Amino acid sequence: MEHGSITDVRSSTFSLMDEDHTLANSVRFTLNQDPRVEFCGYSIPHPSENRVNIRVQTTGDPAKEVFKDALQNLLVMSQHVRTTFDRAVQDYRAQPHNTIGSDGRL
């Protein structure tokens, strides 16, 4: 859910349930890369409670749009990682490989 002010759409805090550092740190990284973002950060109010607060302040665009774009970027990045990884596994499988000897060297 989003906590923002009605008059100023440029900054707001997004409070996400059932999330932790896994998503928050990666989304903070993609948010930082966006030139429209003036400030972004995340905090976990209490470790026993599964909630994370992400703060976004932008230079003019509504914070919700910028946050959505950052998530979209992260999504596309992960898809790209997945396809590159699958292709690399296929290429690795296709080549004949020597087994590793007992001393750890080829």
**Binding stretches for another protein (CB under 8 A):** 2, 14, 16, 19-23, 25-30, 32-35, 37, 64, 67-68, 71-82, 84-86, 88-89, 92-93, 100
Residue 35 carries which DSSP code?
T
Work out how close the CB of 51 gets to another protein at its nearest, in angstroms, rounded to a whole number. Answer: 13
Nearer to another protein, 45 or 80 (CB): 80
Work out how close the CB of 27 gets to another protein at its nearest, in angstroms, rounded to a whole number. Answer: 8
Put residue 21 in one of left, alpha, beta given phi > 0 → left and psi -120 to 50 → alpha: alpha
How far is C-alpha 4 from the geometric centre of its chain's CA atoms? 21
Nearer to another protein, 8 or 86 (CB): 86
- Tell me which amino acid residue 6 is: I
Nearer to another protein, 13 or 26 (CB): 26
Inter-residue contact 32 to 55 (CB < 8 Å): no
Q: How many CB atoms lie within 10 A of CB 60?
A: 9
CA dist 100 and 40 (Å) reads: 46
Work out how close the CB of 24 gets to another protein at its nearest, in angstroms, rounded to a whole number. Answer: 9
Work out how close the CB of 50 gets to another protein at its nearest, in angstroms, rounded to a whole number. Answer: 9
